[in-house]
Amino acid sequence: MTETYDITIIGGGPAGMFAAFYAGMHNAKTQLLESLSELGGQVNALYPEKTILDVAGLPAINGRDLIKAQREQLTQFPLTIKTGQEVTNVTANEAGFTVTTDAGTTQTTAIIVAIGNGAFAPRPLTVPGAEAATGKQLVYSVPRLADFQDQTVMVAGGGDAAIDQALMLEPVAKSVTLLHRRAQFRGLAHMVDLLHASTVAVKTPYLIREVAPTATGQLKVTLKEVGSQTATAEQIVDKLVVSYGYTSDHHALAGWDIDLAETRNLINVSQTMETSVPGIYAIGDGVTYPGKQPLIATGYGEAPVAVQSIMTQFFPDRRGPMHSTSLTPQS
Ligand SMILES: Cc1cc2nc3c(=O)[nH]c(=O)nc-3n(C[C@H](O)[C@H](O)[C@H](O)COP(=O)(O)OP(=O)(O)OC[C@H]3O[C@@H](n4cnc5c(N)ncnc54)[C@H](O)[C@@H]3O)c2cc1C
Protein backbone atom coordinates (compact mmCIF):
# COMPACT_ATOMS: atom_id res chain seq x y z
CA MET A 1 0.00 0.00 0.00
CA THR A 2 1.34 3.45 -0.91
CA GLU A 3 1.59 5.80 2.07
CA THR A 4 -0.77 8.75 1.52
CA TYR A 5 -0.50 12.22 3.04
CA ASP A 6 -2.51 15.43 2.97
CA ILE A 7 0.60 17.60 2.89
CA THR A 8 4.20 16.70 2.02
CA ILE A 9 6.86 19.19 3.00
CA ILE A 10 10.11 18.88 1.08
CA GLY A 11 13.07 20.28 3.03
CA GLY A 12 13.58 20.25 6.79
CA GLY A 13 15.22 23.64 7.33
CA PRO A 14 13.66 26.19 9.70
CA ALA A 15 10.92 27.09 7.19
CA GLY A 16 9.96 23.47 6.41
CA MET A 17 10.03 22.51 10.09
CA PHE A 18 7.71 25.35 11.04
CA ALA A 19 5.37 24.48 8.13
CA ALA A 20 5.23 20.87 9.41
CA PHE A 21 4.33 22.09 12.90
CA TYR A 22 1.67 24.39 11.52
CA ALA A 23 0.21 21.64 9.31
CA GLY A 24 0.10 19.40 12.40
CA MET A 25 -1.84 22.09 14.24
CA HIS A 26 -4.43 21.90 11.49
CA ASN A 27 -4.72 18.13 11.80
CA ALA A 28 -3.29 17.60 8.33
CA LYS A 29 -1.66 14.19 7.82
CA THR A 30 1.83 15.49 7.11
CA GLN A 31 5.22 14.12 6.13
CA LEU A 32 8.46 16.13 6.29
CA LEU A 33 11.23 14.91 3.97
CA GLU A 34 14.84 16.03 4.50
CA SER A 35 17.82 14.89 2.45
CA LEU A 36 20.44 15.46 5.18
CA SER A 37 20.73 13.13 8.15
CA GLU A 38 19.49 15.86 10.51
CA LEU A 39 16.80 18.52 10.41
CA GLY A 40 17.73 22.21 10.62
CA GLY A 41 18.89 23.23 7.13
CA GLN A 42 21.58 25.89 6.89
CA VAL A 43 21.22 26.81 10.56
CA ASN A 44 22.20 23.36 11.77
CA ALA A 45 24.64 22.48 9.00
CA LEU A 46 26.48 25.78 8.54
CA TYR A 47 26.31 27.84 11.72
CA PRO A 48 25.11 25.85 14.74
CA GLU A 49 27.28 27.86 17.14
CA LYS A 50 26.45 31.32 15.80
CA THR A 51 24.28 33.58 17.94
CA ILE A 52 21.18 34.57 15.99
CA LEU A 53 19.78 37.96 16.97
CA ASP A 54 16.84 38.43 14.62
CA VAL A 55 14.25 35.82 15.51
CA ALA A 56 11.25 37.52 17.11
CA GLY A 57 10.90 36.91 20.84
CA LEU A 58 14.40 35.42 21.19
CA PRO A 59 16.93 38.21 21.89
CA ALA A 60 19.87 35.85 21.31
CA ILE A 61 19.87 32.13 20.55
CA ASN A 62 22.49 29.95 18.94
CA GLY A 63 21.65 27.99 15.80
CA ARG A 64 21.76 24.60 17.47
CA ASP A 65 19.36 25.66 20.24
CA LEU A 66 16.94 27.24 17.78
CA ILE A 67 16.68 24.00 15.81
CA LYS A 68 16.43 21.95 19.02
CA ALA A 69 13.48 24.12 20.07
CA GLN A 70 11.86 23.67 16.66
CA ARG A 71 12.33 19.88 16.91
CA GLU A 72 10.60 19.94 20.31
CA GLN A 73 7.76 21.98 18.83
CA LEU A 74 7.27 19.25 16.20
CA THR A 75 6.74 16.54 18.82
CA GLN A 76 3.33 18.02 19.70
CA PHE A 77 1.71 16.41 16.67
CA PRO A 78 1.87 12.96 15.08
CA LEU A 79 3.94 14.01 12.07
CA THR A 80 5.98 11.67 9.88
CA ILE A 81 9.55 12.92 9.71
CA LYS A 82 11.99 11.24 7.34
CA THR A 83 15.62 12.37 7.30
CA GLY A 84 18.26 11.08 4.90
CA GLN A 85 15.66 11.03 2.08
CA GLU A 86 16.25 13.28 -0.89
CA VAL A 87 13.23 13.98 -3.08
CA THR A 88 14.33 13.08 -6.59
CA ASN A 89 11.03 13.48 -8.45
CA VAL A 90 7.50 14.84 -8.18
CA THR A 91 4.85 13.74 -10.66
CA ALA A 92 1.25 14.96 -10.93
CA ASN A 93 -1.64 12.49 -10.94
CA GLU A 94 -5.42 12.57 -10.47
CA ALA A 95 -5.24 12.43 -6.67
CA GLY A 96 -2.47 14.99 -6.34
CA PHE A 97 1.21 14.09 -6.59
CA THR A 98 3.57 11.15 -6.36
CA VAL A 99 6.71 12.03 -4.46
CA THR A 100 9.79 9.92 -5.13
CA THR A 101 12.78 9.69 -2.81
CA ASP A 102 15.72 7.31 -2.80
CA ALA A 103 13.63 5.20 -0.34
CA GLY A 104 10.50 4.84 -2.52
CA THR A 105 7.31 6.71 -3.44
CA THR A 106 4.46 8.25 -1.47
CA GLN A 107 1.22 9.92 -2.50
CA THR A 108 0.17 13.41 -1.37
CA THR A 109 -2.66 15.86 -1.98
CA ALA A 110 -0.51 19.01 -1.71
CA ILE A 111 3.17 19.88 -1.44
CA ILE A 112 5.16 22.63 0.24
CA VAL A 113 8.64 22.97 -1.26
CA ALA A 114 11.05 24.33 1.38
CA ILE A 115 14.40 23.33 -0.10
CA GLY A 116 16.25 26.60 0.48
CA ASN A 117 18.98 26.97 -2.10
CA GLY A 118 19.07 23.22 -2.70
CA ALA A 119 22.20 21.37 -1.72
CA PHE A 120 24.75 23.87 -0.44
CA ALA A 121 28.52 23.67 -0.16
CA PRO A 122 31.14 26.16 1.03
CA ARG A 123 33.06 28.07 -1.65
CA PRO A 124 36.52 26.48 -1.47
CA LEU A 125 39.94 28.05 -1.05
CA THR A 126 41.80 27.13 -4.22
CA VAL A 127 45.48 27.79 -3.48
CA PRO A 128 48.37 25.31 -3.31
CA GLY A 129 48.14 23.16 -0.19
CA ALA A 130 44.46 23.91 0.52
CA GLU A 131 43.05 20.55 -0.48
CA ALA A 132 45.54 18.59 1.63
CA ALA A 133 44.85 20.78 4.69
CA THR A 134 41.04 20.61 4.41
CA GLY A 135 39.44 18.95 7.40
CA LYS A 136 42.72 19.23 9.34
CA GLN A 137 43.97 22.78 9.92
CA LEU A 138 41.67 24.25 7.24
CA VAL A 139 37.91 24.21 7.89
CA TYR A 140 34.86 25.84 6.34
CA SER A 141 32.56 25.98 9.37
CA VAL A 142 32.68 25.99 13.16
CA PRO A 143 30.50 23.12 14.33
CA ARG A 144 32.01 23.05 17.88
CA LEU A 145 33.59 26.09 19.53
CA ALA A 146 35.44 23.81 21.96
CA ASP A 147 37.63 22.58 19.08
CA PHE A 148 39.14 26.10 18.88
CA GLN A 149 39.89 26.50 22.59
CA ASP A 150 43.20 28.37 23.13
CA GLN A 151 44.10 28.08 19.44
CA THR A 152 45.62 30.63 17.09
CA VAL A 153 42.94 31.13 14.46
CA MET A 154 42.75 32.97 11.16
CA VAL A 155 39.35 33.61 9.56
CA ALA A 156 39.36 34.51 5.85
CA GLY A 157 36.45 36.43 4.30
CA GLY A 158 34.77 39.83 4.25
CA GLY A 159 31.03 39.23 4.67
CA ASP A 160 28.77 38.90 7.70
CA ALA A 161 29.47 35.19 8.07
CA ALA A 162 33.25 35.79 8.31
CA ILE A 163 32.83 38.60 10.86
CA ASP A 164 30.35 36.44 12.81
CA GLN A 165 32.81 33.58 12.93
CA ALA A 166 35.69 35.80 14.05
CA LEU A 167 33.58 37.33 16.84
CA MET A 168 32.23 33.95 17.90
CA LEU A 169 35.75 32.52 18.16
CA GLU A 170 37.23 35.53 19.98
CA PRO A 171 36.23 34.47 23.53
CA VAL A 172 37.54 30.89 23.19
CA ALA A 173 40.55 31.14 20.88
CA LYS A 174 44.00 32.33 21.99
CA SER A 175 43.93 34.90 19.18
CA VAL A 176 41.85 35.56 16.08
CA THR A 177 42.96 37.32 12.89
CA LEU A 178 40.38 38.28 10.28
CA LEU A 179 41.84 38.45 6.79
CA HIS A 180 40.10 40.17 3.89
CA ARG A 181 41.23 41.04 0.39
CA ARG A 182 39.67 44.54 0.51
CA ALA A 183 40.14 47.37 3.01
CA GLN A 184 36.35 47.59 3.55
CA PHE A 185 34.17 44.79 4.92
CA ARG A 186 30.90 43.85 3.22
CA GLY A 187 29.20 43.00 6.53
CA LEU A 188 26.39 44.97 8.18
CA ALA A 189 27.57 48.26 9.74
CA HIS A 190 26.60 46.96 13.19
CA MET A 191 28.76 43.85 12.73
CA VAL A 192 31.71 45.92 11.52
CA ASP A 193 31.39 48.15 14.63
CA LEU A 194 31.42 45.05 16.86
CA LEU A 195 34.48 43.81 15.00
CA HIS A 196 36.42 47.04 15.53
CA ALA A 197 35.48 47.04 19.23
CA SER A 198 36.79 43.46 19.64
CA THR A 199 40.30 42.06 20.08
CA VAL A 200 40.16 40.44 16.62
CA ALA A 201 43.22 41.53 14.61
CA VAL A 202 42.09 42.80 11.22
CA LYS A 203 44.50 42.21 8.34
CA THR A 204 43.56 43.89 5.04
CA PRO A 205 43.92 44.01 2.05
CA TYR A 206 45.55 40.57 1.89
CA LEU A 207 45.00 37.40 -0.10
CA ILE A 208 46.04 33.87 0.79
CA ARG A 209 48.64 32.65 -1.71
CA GLU A 210 49.58 29.28 -0.30
CA VAL A 211 49.13 27.11 2.78
CA ALA A 212 51.47 24.38 4.03
CA PRO A 213 51.65 22.24 7.18
CA THR A 214 54.49 22.89 9.62
CA ALA A 215 56.55 20.23 11.37
CA THR A 216 54.51 20.86 14.56
CA GLY A 217 51.18 20.20 12.83
CA GLN A 218 50.21 23.87 12.46
CA LEU A 219 49.55 25.66 9.18
CA LYS A 220 51.84 28.22 7.55
CA VAL A 221 49.68 30.71 5.65
CA THR A 222 51.51 32.73 3.02
CA LEU A 223 49.82 36.05 2.26
CA LYS A 224 50.14 38.61 -0.48
CA GLU A 225 49.21 42.25 -0.07
CA VAL A 226 46.63 43.17 -2.72
CA GLY A 227 47.91 45.87 -5.08
CA SER A 228 51.56 45.24 -4.26
CA GLN A 229 53.78 43.19 -6.55
CA THR A 230 56.23 42.18 -3.87
CA ALA A 231 54.81 42.48 -0.36
CA THR A 232 54.17 39.11 1.21
CA ALA A 233 53.71 37.96 4.79
CA GLU A 234 53.51 34.67 6.65
CA GLN A 235 51.44 33.65 9.62
CA ILE A 236 51.47 30.34 11.51
CA VAL A 237 48.03 29.30 12.78
CA ASP A 238 46.43 26.28 14.42
CA LYS A 239 43.25 26.71 12.38
CA LEU A 240 42.29 28.57 9.23
CA VAL A 241 38.52 29.11 8.85
CA VAL A 242 37.63 29.96 5.25
CA SER A 243 34.36 31.85 5.01
CA TYR A 244 34.00 32.75 1.33
CA GLY A 245 30.25 32.07 1.18
CA TYR A 246 28.37 29.10 -0.25
CA THR A 247 27.55 27.73 -3.64
CA SER A 248 24.16 26.15 -4.13
CA ASP A 249 22.94 23.46 -6.45
CA HIS A 250 19.41 23.58 -7.83
CA HIS A 251 19.57 20.27 -9.63
CA ALA A 252 16.90 18.91 -7.29
CA LEU A 253 14.14 20.79 -9.12
CA ALA A 254 15.59 20.31 -12.60
CA GLY A 255 15.20 16.54 -12.29
CA TRP A 256 11.50 16.62 -11.42
CA ASP A 257 8.73 15.89 -13.94
CA ILE A 258 6.91 18.91 -12.51
CA ASP A 259 8.28 22.13 -13.98
CA LEU A 260 8.00 25.05 -11.53
CA ALA A 261 8.42 28.58 -12.90
CA GLU A 262 11.65 30.11 -11.62
CA THR A 263 13.50 33.42 -11.71
CA ARG A 264 17.26 33.30 -11.16
CA ASN A 265 16.93 29.72 -9.85
CA LEU A 266 14.32 30.78 -7.27
CA ILE A 267 10.74 29.51 -7.39
CA ASN A 268 8.13 32.14 -8.28
CA VAL A 269 5.22 32.21 -5.82
CA SER A 270 1.97 34.13 -5.51
CA GLN A 271 0.83 36.00 -2.39
CA THR A 272 -0.57 32.71 -1.08
CA MET A 273 2.86 31.06 -1.65
CA GLU A 274 1.46 28.94 -4.50
CA THR A 275 3.83 28.09 -7.34
CA SER A 276 2.99 27.93 -11.05
CA VAL A 277 1.69 24.38 -10.43
CA PRO A 278 -1.65 24.32 -8.57
CA GLY A 279 -1.31 22.31 -5.36
CA ILE A 280 2.41 22.93 -5.02
CA TYR A 281 3.38 25.72 -2.65
CA ALA A 282 6.88 26.96 -1.82
CA ILE A 283 8.41 28.87 1.09
CA GLY A 284 11.75 29.93 2.57
CA ASP A 285 15.04 30.85 0.94
CA GLY A 286 14.16 29.03 -2.29
CA VAL A 287 11.35 31.38 -3.34
CA THR A 288 11.16 34.85 -4.83
CA TYR A 289 8.59 37.65 -4.94
CA PRO A 290 8.92 41.45 -4.75
CA GLY A 291 10.57 42.39 -1.46
CA LYS A 292 11.60 38.83 -0.50
CA GLN A 293 14.29 38.64 2.22
CA PRO A 294 16.15 35.32 2.69
CA LEU A 295 15.86 35.21 6.47
CA ILE A 296 14.64 32.72 9.06
CA ALA A 297 11.86 35.09 10.17
CA THR A 298 10.57 35.42 6.60
CA GLY A 299 10.30 31.64 6.22
CA TYR A 300 8.43 31.43 9.52
CA GLY A 301 5.92 33.97 8.19
CA GLU A 302 5.47 32.20 4.87
CA ALA A 303 4.80 28.77 6.40
CA PRO A 304 1.34 29.56 7.89
CA VAL A 305 0.33 31.33 4.67
CA ALA A 306 1.10 28.19 2.64
CA VAL A 307 -0.57 25.80 5.10
CA GLN A 308 -3.71 27.97 5.42
CA SER A 309 -3.93 28.24 1.63
CA ILE A 310 -3.71 24.45 1.27
CA MET A 311 -6.32 23.86 3.98
CA THR A 312 -8.69 26.36 2.32
CA GLN A 313 -8.16 24.86 -1.12
CA PHE A 314 -8.23 21.13 -0.34
CA PHE A 315 -9.63 20.60 3.17
CA PRO A 316 -12.08 23.46 3.85
CA ASP A 317 -13.87 21.40 6.52
CA ARG A 318 -10.60 21.25 8.53
CA ARG A 319 -9.49 24.80 7.89
CA GLY A 320 -10.20 25.63 11.54
CA PRO A 321 -9.70 28.85 13.49
CA MET A 322 -6.61 31.05 13.18
CA HIS A 323 -5.07 30.88 16.64
CA SER A 324 -3.01 28.09 18.14
CA THR A 325 -4.96 28.11 21.43
CA SER A 326 -8.09 27.02 19.56
CA LEU A 327 -6.23 24.38 17.56
CA THR A 328 -4.08 22.48 20.07
CA PRO A 329 -5.67 19.97 22.47
CA GLN A 330 -6.82 21.78 25.64
CA SER A 331 -5.86 20.35 29.05
C1 LIG B 1 26.46 31.82 7.60
C2 LIG B 1 25.00 32.20 7.57
C3 LIG B 1 24.48 32.98 8.60
C4 LIG B 1 23.13 33.31 8.61
N5 LIG B 1 22.65 34.08 9.63
C6 LIG B 1 21.32 34.37 9.68
C7 LIG B 1 20.79 35.15 10.77
O8 LIG B 1 21.51 35.57 11.68
N9 LIG B 1 19.45 35.40 10.77
C10 LIG B 1 18.60 34.97 9.78
O11 LIG B 1 17.40 35.22 9.84
N12 LIG B 1 19.10 34.23 8.73
C13 LIG B 1 20.41 33.94 8.66
N14 LIG B 1 20.91 33.20 7.61
C15 LIG B 1 19.95 32.77 6.56
C16 LIG B 1 19.11 31.58 7.07
O17 LIG B 1 19.97 30.52 7.47
C18 LIG B 1 18.17 31.12 5.97
O19 LIG B 1 17.30 32.20 5.65
C20 LIG B 1 17.32 29.92 6.42
O21 LIG B 1 18.14 28.82 6.76
C22 LIG B 1 16.36 29.51 5.30
O23 LIG B 1 15.60 28.42 5.76
P24 LIG B 1 14.92 27.40 4.72
O25 LIG B 1 14.20 26.39 5.56
O26 LIG B 1 14.18 28.16 3.69
O27 LIG B 1 16.13 26.75 3.92
P28 LIG B 1 17.40 25.89 4.41
O29 LIG B 1 17.84 26.28 5.77
O30 LIG B 1 18.38 26.01 3.29
O31 LIG B 1 16.84 24.40 4.48
C32 LIG B 1 16.47 23.73 3.30
C33 LIG B 1 16.56 22.24 3.58
O34 LIG B 1 16.03 21.52 2.45
C35 LIG B 1 16.81 20.36 2.25
N36 LIG B 1 16.65 19.92 0.86
C37 LIG B 1 17.12 20.52 -0.26
N38 LIG B 1 16.77 19.82 -1.35
C39 LIG B 1 16.08 18.73 -0.90
C40 LIG B 1 15.46 17.63 -1.55
N41 LIG B 1 15.44 17.50 -2.88
N42 LIG B 1 14.84 16.68 -0.78
C43 LIG B 1 14.82 16.79 0.58
N44 LIG B 1 15.39 17.83 1.24
C45 LIG B 1 16.00 18.78 0.51
C46 LIG B 1 18.23 20.83 2.57
O47 LIG B 1 19.06 19.72 2.91
C48 LIG B 1 17.99 21.74 3.77
O49 LIG B 1 18.08 21.06 4.99
C50 LIG B 1 22.26 32.86 7.56
C51 LIG B 1 22.78 32.06 6.53
C52 LIG B 1 24.12 31.72 6.53
C53 LIG B 1 24.66 30.86 5.42
In this predicted model, which residue has the larger pLDDT, 18 or 264? 18
Residue owning the nearest CA to atom 12 of ligand 1: 295
pLDDT computed for residue 54 by the predictor: 94
* Ligand 1 within 6 A of CB of 44: no
Q: What percent of the chain clears pLDDT 90, i.e. is strictly above it?
A: 75
Answer yes or no: are the C-beta atoms of 282 and 114 closer than 8 Å. yes
In this predicted model, which residue has the larger pLDDT, 204 or 143? 204
Taking CB atoms within 8 Å and a gap of at least 24, the contacts of 131-135 are 132/213, 133/211, 133/213, 133/219, 133/240
The gap between the terminal CA atoms of the chain, to the nearest Å, is 36
Answer yes or no: are the C-beta atoms of 43 and 147 closer than 8 Å. no
Of 42, 58, 164, 287, the residue with max ligand 1 atoms within 8 A of its CB, to mutate for a pocket test, comes to 42
Helices 14-25, 63-74: axis angle to 10 degrees equals: 20
Does residue 59 have a cis peptide bond before it, meaning omega lies within 30 degrees of 0? Answer: no
Per-residue confidence band for 325, with pLDDT thresholds at 50, 70 and 90: low
Go through 112-133 and write b for each residue having 16 or more CB atoms within 10 A of its CB, e for each that does not.
bbbbbbbebebeebeeebbeeb
Question: Strands (DSSP E) along 16-165, which ranges?
Answer: 30-34, 51-52, 61-62, 80-83, 87-93, 96-101, 104-113, 119-122, 138-139, 152-156
Average the pLDDT over 140-164 and give the result.
91
Question: Strands (DSSP E) along 243-326, which ranges?
Answer: 246-249, 262-263, 266-268, 280-282, 287-288
Report the helix count and the strand count for the chain, using DSSP H and E.
Answer: 9, 22
Of 115, 247, 293, 305, the residue with max ligand 1 atoms within 8 A of its CB, to mutate for a pocket test, comes to 115
> Per-residue pLDDT tens for 171-199?
999 999 999 999 988 777 888 899 999 99
CA of 255 to the centre of ligand 1 (A): 21
Residue 84 predicted with pLDDT over 90: no
CA distance 32 to 23: 10
Residue 331 predicted with pLDDT over 60: no
Q: Largest Cα–Cα distance in the chain?
A: 74
Q: Which of 117-126, 127-136, 174-183, 309-318 has the lowest mean pLDDT?
A: 117-126
pLDDT computed for residue 326 by the predictor: 62
CA of 13 to the centre of ligand 1 (A): 5
Average the pLDDT over 291-296 and give the result.
96
pLDDT computed for residue 124 by the predictor: 92
| Residue 26: alpha-carbon gap to chain centroid | 26
Per-residue confidence band for 328, with pLDDT thresholds at 50, 70 and 90: low
pLDDT computed for residue 320 by the predictor: 64
> Per-residue pLDDT tens for 31-70?
999 988 889 999 988 888 889 999 999 999 999 999 999 9
Residue 4 predicted with pLDDT over 70: yes
- Mean pLDDT across the chain: 92
CA of 43 to the centre of ligand 1 (A): 6
CA distance 180 to 158: 5
> Per-residue pLDDT tens for 206-259?
999 999 999 999 999 999 999 988 878 999 999 999 999 877 776 778 889 999
